[in-house]
Structure 1
Amino acid sequence: MDLEQRAASLRAMRDDTFDVLVVGGGVTGAGIALDAASRGLRTAIVEAQDWAAGTSSRSSRLVHGGLRYLYQLDFKLVAEALKERGRLLSRIAPHLVEAQPFLWPLKTRVIERAYSAVGVGLYDALALAGSGFRKTVPVQRHLSHRGALRRFPDVDPKALVGAIEFYDARVDDARLVITLVRTAVHHGAEAVSRAKVTRILKDDSGAASGAEVVDLESGDSITVRAHRIINATGVWTERTQDLAEARGGLKVLASKGIHIVVPRERIRGDAGMFLRTEKSVLFIIPWQHYWVIGTTDTAWHEQLEHPVPTSADIDYVLDHANSVLSRPLTRDDIIGTYAGLRPLLQPTVLDETKSTKVSREHTVAEVVPGMVSIAGGKLTTYRVMAEDAVDFALGRRAAKQRPSVTADLPLLGAEGYVATRNRADALAGRYGFDHDRMEHLLARYGSELPELLAAIDERPDLGEPLAAAPQFLRAEVHRACTHEGALHLEDVLVSRVRLNSEARDRGESAVDEVAELCAQALGWDAERLGLEKANYLRRVAAERAAEEQPTDEAASAARLAGEPVA
């Protein structure tokens, strides 16, 4: 995805009539676009911000079955999620999704170990059954007190008597979404970010027939004609439904979850940690260069575009993490923070006379004839949600004639991934990359890695690390603009080269170099270059100010002070 593709998609949206128009470019909308396009449906998808700019770039970055739901006896939900986890690990996105061990710390020697073992054992059994009894992650193993300390040396010895080690998986959530959109485009979809739906159009019978869309980059308005519209806008669900002036649809509330990021070397541990709290769960998750720790679960009543953690949120996460760590974390250890909004689906639809399809995790409902909304669910089950949404929009007969094919459809970078990984040593030697660099690149690009290396062959300067963030190559910034749909500096630093949440200065020290690379790829003049840098620095200052505030209201106001200048 680049500027040429975006322009071509805008022309197609203006000139063509689509079978499906998807509104919303998070993981659900991106999954729907891929599902529809891969069925052979003429598909368009628009997103008002950057791809994954909402909840789908602000999650715990996990692909998991939801172990805690077993203790609520929600076996069907867990089984479905574990089946999807297995598909992602083995077929759909093995380059993006990686198996991750976790320790469940035990406080008592016999009773807790016994019932926890049964629960985790059932978790493993459901995972095996969902994958056709092909093991995609190792099964549980029990650790003594000494064994737990060996796996996680920085755990407080008094915090446990032993542990159960079990597996889930982790994923760069924003990269998954961007790859879904790119794969949808590969299969014929038209995709445009920074394009806002301002009105749902109807025909003489009152059925949805398209949408008015404003290209926020140019200010131009276009009419997109479509036989069916699928609203997948998460916490914006009701706002989008209101554009159709209808009584039907879904009711969604926003719940804030925050995370902190600390350097990898700050906590000694080879596995993650799973803790049950009085409100929810807390994950301590190791990544290659850092740990992600969260989350919270609190109602959010402020603006939806820029949720931010408060000082109290950060203290909450620190306190719960420190309850099991032998070397307590302080604010000085934090290199990044972020907050996202979960779209909490309410138990009833807005108009009970409209048709709906209800899952344990998500619901699809008719807004007006020709337009449906989907909400709820979680990242792990995006593919099931997408299939349900397209089936519902098509109707039973048409869905049977054009069934979903995504259960076994590899995303870009997945096909041939193992073969590319097998060449890792040879590629590393040719380009002078160490093992750490190759693991980083393989986990981001999979079998598309040779394309990135070809760009380095053409421009050797792209093979150099970023001066202020050497974990990333200059080529990764270039590719973000030429292949991954980045239009602004913040698009690169927030969702592609994720220094906004993974660097102590939120990428401030890398701004000049990254912006110059963006300018070269996107054709910015000096004025645009200066504006992009100034806007990103405004954002960073606002985010820093927000996380010092005591309340959501104050934090939201501080963050809004960093809105970009046109």
Structure 2
Amino acid sequence: MLTAQSRARALEEMSDGAGLDLLVIGGGVTGAGIAVDAVTRGLRTGIVEMQDWAAGTSSRSSRLVHGGLRYLYQLDLHLVSEALAERGLLMETIAPHLVHAQPFLWPLRIPLIERGYSALGVGLYDLIARFRGGHVPIQRHYDKAGALGLFPDIRPSRLTGAIRFYDARVDDARLVIDLVRTAVSYGAFAASRTRVVGLVRHHGVVTGAVLHDLEADREITVRARHVVNATGVWTEQTQALAAPTPKGLKVLASKGVHIVVPKERIRGRTGLFLRTEKSVLFIIPWPDYWVIGTTDTAWSEQREHPVATAADIDYILDHANAVLRSRLTRDDILASYAGLRPLLQPLAVAGDSAKVSREHTVARVAPGMSAIAGGKLTTYRTMAEDAVDFALGAERAKAQPSITRRIQLVGAVGYEATRAQAGPVAGRMGWDRHRTEHLLYRYGSELPVIAEMVRTDPDLGRPLAAAPTYLRAEVAFAVTHEGALHLEDVLRQRVRLAYEQPDGGCAALDEVGAIVAPLLGWDDAILEREKEAYRRQVEAQRAAAEAPDDATASALMESVRTA
């Protein structure tokens, strides 16, 4: 389990005299994947994150596990092949409870010619997927009437037909949290809200790190045989701790924005894949809403809290409305969010972020320290394998190879059996089909744990009054099993009301706070501070969405952080 207590023990264990084989800096999907890879090879592993797990890029993505159809049209066959293989592993072995096949419709506008070359591209996509693993239905072609039957909200003038193809979707933050929990279950030490403020060096070799425990406001020193920098858009700042002029990677931060709209505002039974003048736009269905995005623009402001601006939101609305009959407006938006992609920059020059490669690279920063950057959420496992191989060196990596192709995450072990037994469990608990699927797709084989919590305390079986999609037990589980330390952690990365309700979940604050406070030992004063801090964040984000540019929006978020 991941708890406040396990975090405190992890910091004590990491700072004892034994030291670590590997210290991972960064608790996004790449760092969490590295921790799983390292600990399952038998390495004494620690991982630290300065915010909550997945609080950066890894909770602000398009929530897709995909090969990257657009990269196929850029002839990046290696990246597509690698990503499709990883998609298959995630769907079938590693996290089948979290990663699910998702159909998309690709509207076609030019008769014959466009259908011909698009069919070849999607056909190659399907063929690669079949050879690399992960079976999903192959492409299917529709005429105009058939396409409109699948997705009535497409403007008839915007298509002559369509191709349906499959990728997969995932709750990105839950994937990261389950990775961290899996690493901990194998013996890794994990501490969120822990910032690396310095590196320990001996005769020029990095031999550990100085950590600032942000919860207890104290510093501790951790010894490690190797340190891996997996901090994404913070890569260069972390590298700078190694030496005044460190070697390493250069990373460009590219902002990707998404909006969330109610399910009833768009009529369609698949997702939509739309080509734009700059990139692509996805309209992705979830059980209760649609996620629409993304953008791709350079970001040079503070990196802890990137936000959508008025221009970003207008861009997405304009491109969606060019295809949809729904005519979405700002009043339809439940939430918007922005994430920063860490794109490798081959040269230290400014440029169009959309042209920077998505391939990942591992590099030596200094003796005893390496850095990894680039890549995408789908390929986190291969990135992790490469990072640990690099840290071990060729000879040791061959003797202690990665086994993560066969490692199932928490919630995946025994998932098929739990799924088969879900009906009787749901019957005893009084859960309808929607509730049962919601819980299965979030907790997998840990569904009986939720059921037992409710049996022990029936009050936890009640839905949240302001967010009935979620049970009160899910809020408790966020603290007792998933390491939430603050209300923000619960509402952003676990019970994701921050991205699903117009008020960011503020209407549920009192109820959520009442569940969380006794579990974390808060008194009334601490609880009120937590609620007020969260309300200020939500208000700043709402104001930022009306801002004309990145600098103004960023300043609004900074004002909350420094208040």
Q: TM-score of the superposition, structure 2-length normalised?
A: 0.97
1:413 touches 1:446 (CA, 8 Å); kept in 2? yes
The Cα shift of 1:79 comes to 0.5
Q: 8 Å contact 2:13–2:189 — kept in the other structure?
A: yes
The equivalent residue for 1:549 is: 547
Aligned partner of 2:13 in structure 1 is 12
CA contact (8 A) 2:41 2:402 kept: yes
Within-5 A mapping of 1:456-535: 456-535=454-533
Paired residue secondary structure (1:406): coil
Distance 1:348 1:43 in 2: 33
Kindly report which structure 2 residues correspond to 1:381-460, keeping only aligned pairs within 5 A, or say none.
381-460=379-458
Deviates more, 1:249-258 or 1:422-431: 422-431
Separation in structure 2 between the aligned mates of residue 230 and residue 559 of structure 1, nearest angstrom:
29
Distance in structure 1 (CA, Å) of the matches to 2:489 and 2:326: 35
SS at match of 2:560: coil
Tell me how far 1:349 sits from its aligned partner. 8.7
Cα gap change, 1:448 to 1:564, in 2 (>3 Å)? farther
C-alpha contact 1:538 1:563 (8 A) present in aligned 2:
no
Cross-structure match for 1:329: 328
Report the AA paired with residue 341 of structure 1. L
5+ residue gaps in structure 1? 351-358
Tell me the CA shift for residue 280 of structure 1. Answer: 1.2
Deviations 1:170-192 (A, max 9, x none): 00000000000000000110000
> How far did residue 125 of structure 1 move?
0.3
User: Which residue does 1:71 correspond to in 2?
Assistant: 73
Deviation at 1:418, TM superposition (A): 1.1
Q: Secondary structure at the match of 1:235?
A: helix
Give me the whole-angstrom Cα distance separating, in 1, the residues matched to 2:562 and 2:144: 52
Distance in 2 between residues matched to 1:19 and 1:243, nearest whole Å: 20
Aligned match of 2:201? 202
Conserved 8 A contact 1:250-1:349: no
Tell me the CA shift for residue 13 of structure 1: 1.2
Alpha-carbon distance in structure 2 between the residues aligned to 1:515 and 1:187: 31
Aligned residue in 1 for 2:179 = 180
Quote how far apart the aligned CAs of 1:247 are.
Answer: 2.3
CA contact (8 A) 1:261 1:502 kept: yes
- Secondary structure of the corresponding residue to residue 229 of structure 1: strand
In structure 1, the partner of 2:165 is: 166
User: Sequence identity of aligned pairs in percent?
Assistant: 65
Following superposition, the deviation at residue 360 of structure 1 comes to: 6.8
Which runs of at least 4 in structure 1 moved beyond 3 Å after TM superposition?
Answer: none
Q: Aligned partners of 2:380 and 2:290: how far apart in 1?
A: 25
SS in 2 for 1:347: coil
Q: Which moved more, 1:372-381 or 1:13-22?
A: 13-22
Distance in 1, Cα, partners of 2:419 & 2:250: 45
Q: Distance in 1 between matches of 2:159 and 2:254?
A: 31
Query: Where does residue 287 of structure 1 map in the other structure?
Result: 286
What residue is the counterpart of 1:43 in the other structure? Answer: 45
Deviations 1:413-445 (A, max 9, x none): 101111111112111111111111111000000
Q: How many angstroms apart in 2 are the aligned matches of 1:349 and 1:536?
A: 37
Residue 276 of structure 2 corresponds to which residue in structure 1? 277
Aligned to 1:92: 94
The residue that corresponds to 1:353 in the other structure is none
Provide Cα deviations, 1:194-226, integer angstroms capped at 9, x if missing partner.
00000011112x111000000000111000000
Secondary structure of the residue aligned to 1:561 is helix
Per-residue CA distance 1:39-88 (angstroms, 9 max, x = gap):
01000000000000100000000000000111111111100000000000
> How far is 1:266 from its partner?
1.0
User: Do the aligned residues in 2 keep the contact of 1:154 with 1:268 (CA within 8 Å)?
Assistant: yes
Q: Structure 2 regions of 5+ residues with no counterpart?
A: 350-356
Which of 89, 106, 109 is the aligned partner of 1:107?
109
Query: 1:354 — aligned with what?
Result: none
What are the superposed Cα offsets for residues 470-515 of structure 1, whole Å, 9 maximum, x if unpaired?
Answer: 0000000000011001000000001100000111111010000001
Partner residue in 1 for 2:32: 30
- Call closer, same or farther: CA 1:306–1:360 in 2, change over 3 Å: closer
Whole-angstrom distance in 1 between the partners of 2:186 and 2:347: 36
The alignment of Structure 1 onto Structure 2 pairs a total of residues equal to 553
In structure 1, how many angstroms separate the alpha carbons of the residues matched to 2:130 and 2:326? 37
Q: Distance in 1 between matches of 2:473 and 2:219?
A: 34
Q: Is the 8 A contact 2:46 2:188 kept in 1?
A: yes
RMSD, matched Cα: 1.1
Q: Which amino acid aligns with 1:108?
A: I
SS of equivalent residue, structure 2 residue 318: helix
Matched to 1:193, the amino acid is: S
